[in-house]
Amino acid sequence: MKFHSLLNALALATAASAHISIYGVWINDEWQGDGRNLYMNAPLRNPDWSYIACHTLGNREQPKWLEVKAGDKLAPEWFWTKRGDMYTGNHVGPLLVYMAPAVSTGVNTPDIWTKLYHYGYNATNGLWADDYFQKFAQDNRGHHFITIPDVPAGDYLIRSEIITLQEASHLNGAQHYPSCVQVRVTSNGSKVLPGGVSFPGTYIPGQPGLMWPPEGTETADPANYPLPGGDVWEGSPGGGIYGLDDLNDSRSV
């Protein structure tokens, strides 16, 4: 079940994070290599910055594109300082994934982004998306995944973002770790991304979900956490976080 034809192209437009960034990408459980072309793991705090789209220098095209088709499972692997060591401090917060056509006007073009997946807090076991990454990092090496939607052929960016909330009780205290992967979709589907999300633009400083607990409160029930960026597109096949449903789902490298 290998897809050797996909091995010739890999690229991350950028990486992010205190400290987490994307180490590389898996497609259909096959490792695509280390794609840290722009290793940046510092947090971004102001969602009005242009860097909020794809982190510092994220507007610069990288030489390689990852070939994918509808139904493929694309899994970014995050890390902190070395592979498998997802930050184990006080990070808590959600994961959000967006997709956009790779337009010549760049990653900050208004309304090009569409949300494919998000995960906030699980009230049943008290775990945030971040917790799944951290607690099971040894097993799952900080992977999440999305299934490529049935979009028209072309070049796209997949934007994964971890937001950490441990300092989000003040304005622009939330830490954003956006990271974009360049993909070339070779299948030719008919589900055009509706767009409607802008980076910057959609996230408003101080909005619910970026200030947490909400302004004027000292505590808040995470079960009520409002994920920023709107609803997931109904045309998205979705995604997940390794370790979420099967804590023993270990990747082989």
Q: How far is the CB of 124 from ligand NAG (least distance, A)?
A: 4
CA distance 155 to 89: 36
Q: Per CB under 6 A, which of residues 188..207 are in contact with ligand NAG?
A: 188
Of 46, 59, 122, 169, the residue at the interface with ligand NAG (CB under 6 A) is: 122
Q: Is 247 in the site for ligand NAG (CB under 6 A)?
A: yes
Report if residue 42 touches ligand NAG, rule: CB under 6 A.
Answer: no
Nearest to 58 by CA among 159, 185, 172: 159
**Beta strands 144-147 and 73-79, pairing class:** antiparallel
Please, what is the minimum distance in Å from the beta carbon of residue 126 to ligand NAG?
9
CB 75 within 8 A of CB 144: yes
CB of 122 to ligand NAG, least distance (A): 4
Q: Is the peptide bond before 200 cis (omega within 30 degrees of 0)?
A: yes
* Per-residue contact flags (x/-) with ligand NAG for residues 151 to 170, judged by CB under 6 A: -xx-----------------
In the complex, minimum distance from the CB of residue 61 to ligand NAG, in angstroms, rounded to a whole number: 20
Residue 92 identity? V
Sequence letter at residue 34: D
Find the shortest distance in angstroms from Cβ 136 to ligand NAG. Answer: 9
Task: Point out which span in 38-46, 63-71, 96-104, 240-248 binds ligand NAG (CB under 6 A).
Answer: 240-248
How far from the centroid of its chain's Cα atoms is residue 157's Cα?
A: 11
- Which residue number, 55 or 115, has a Cβ lying nearer to ligand NAG? 115
Q: Does 248 bind ligand NAG (CB under 6 A)?
A: yes
Number of residues that bind ligand NAG (CB under 6 A): 10
Q: What is the DSSP string of 114-169?
A: EEEEEE-EETTTTEEHHHHHHHTHHHHTTBEEEEPP-PPSEEEEEEEEEEE-TTTT
Per DSSP bridges, beta strands 66-68 and 175-185 are parallel
Cβ proximity to ligand NAG: between 81 and 188 the closer is 188
> Which residues here bind ligand NAG, judged by CB under 6 A?
122, 124-125, 152-153, 188, 244-245, 247-248
